[in-house]
């Protein structure tokens, strides 16, 4: 009996990989420890891809004049400018050849989007494929992972957080922990397999 992979996936499951982009890993908004989860994320991507299940990669994809940037009155340093190195997925990120989708968010100058569902076709793509359960990995636990999971709950999905494949910013100590507590209170389940 194997120690891991006891979790039984079905045709109604999908993986979401949140914002595994250069700026969040080693660039303008680097999340400490983000490098360490790349292998874990890739492992889950392979598990889903090997079963023929869809994988959705979200990415922050901001215009130069984005509202969330400090120079434009926002709170973040300039990051993930569409087409830039910082916006590219990390070189080590495994992206399957098929049945994978890239979801760009925060693409309008005047709106920010922490959730992969905000202003995107993610929900539509999932519903079209009959997806009921979402497994979420990536960065950052206390921002885009949290909001994507929250959005998914509100849209009726059963949500799991892949605990060994997420990493938080923790601008205030405990932010990631509180984000998970908040999600658990909504019925989200933390798992590793």
> Which residues are marked as active site?
19, 105, 144
Instruction: Return the closest-CA partner of residue 106 out of 85, 87, 125.
Output: 87
Among 13, 14, 15, 19, binds ligand VGL (CB under 6 A): 19
Task: Please state, in angstroms and rounded to a whole number, the distance separating the CA atoms of residues 180 and 186.
Answer: 10
- Under rule CB under 5 A, residue 60 binds Zn ion: yes
- Under rule CB under 6 A, residue 76 binds ligand VGL: yes
Task: Please state, in angstroms and rounded to a whole number, the distance separating the CA atoms of residues 193 and 174.
Answer: 24
Partner from Zn ion, ligand VGL, none contacting 135, C-beta within 5 to 8 A by type: none
Binding mask 115-154 for ligand VGL (x = CB under 6 A): ------------------------xx--xx----------
Partner from ligand VGL, Zn ion, none contacting 103, C-beta within 5 to 8 A by type: none
Q: Which residue has the tokens 């045709």?
A: 11
Task: Please state, in angstroms and rounded to a whole number, the distance separating the CA atoms of residues 119 and 104.
Answer: 9
Q: Which is nearer to Zn ion, 1 or 75 (CB)?
A: 75
Beta-carbon contacts of 153 under 8 Å, excluding residues fewer than 6 positions away, are 159, 183, 186, 187, 188
Task: Please state, in angstroms and rounded to a whole number, the distance separating the CA atoms of residues 135 and 80.
Answer: 24
- Under rule CB under 6 A, residue 37 binds ligand VGL: no
Please state whether the peptide bond connecting residue 115 to the residue before it is cis, i.e. omega within 30 degrees of 0: no
> Which chain residues interact with ligand VGL by CB under 6 A?
19, 24, 29, 60, 68, 76, 139-140, 143-144
> Which chain residues interact with Zn ion by CB under 5 A?
60
């Amino acid at each position: 009996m194997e120690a891991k992979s006891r979790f039984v996936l079905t045709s109604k499951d999908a993986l979401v990989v949140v914002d595994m982009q250069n700026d969040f890993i080693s660039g303008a908004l680097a999340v400490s420890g983000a490098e360490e989860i790349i292998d874990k994320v890739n492992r889950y991507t392979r598990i889903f891809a090997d079963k023929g299940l869809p994988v959705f990669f979200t990415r922050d994809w901001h215009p130069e004049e984005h509202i969330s940037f400090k120079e434009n009155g926002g709170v973040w340093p300039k990051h993930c400018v569409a087409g830039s190195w910082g916006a590219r997925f990390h070189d080590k990120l495994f992206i399957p050849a098929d049945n994978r989708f890239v979801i760009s968010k925060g693409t309008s100058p005047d709106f920010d989007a922490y959730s992969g569902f905000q202003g995107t076709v993610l929900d539509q793509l999932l519903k079209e494929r009959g997806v009921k359960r979402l497994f979420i990995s990536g960065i950052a636990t206390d921002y885009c992972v949290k909001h994507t999971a929250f959005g998914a709950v509100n849209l009726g999905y059963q949500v799991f957080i892949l605990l060994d494949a997420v990493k938080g910013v923790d601008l205030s100590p405990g932010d990631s922990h509180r984000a998970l507590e908040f999600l658990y209170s909504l019925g989200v389940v933390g798992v590793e397999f």
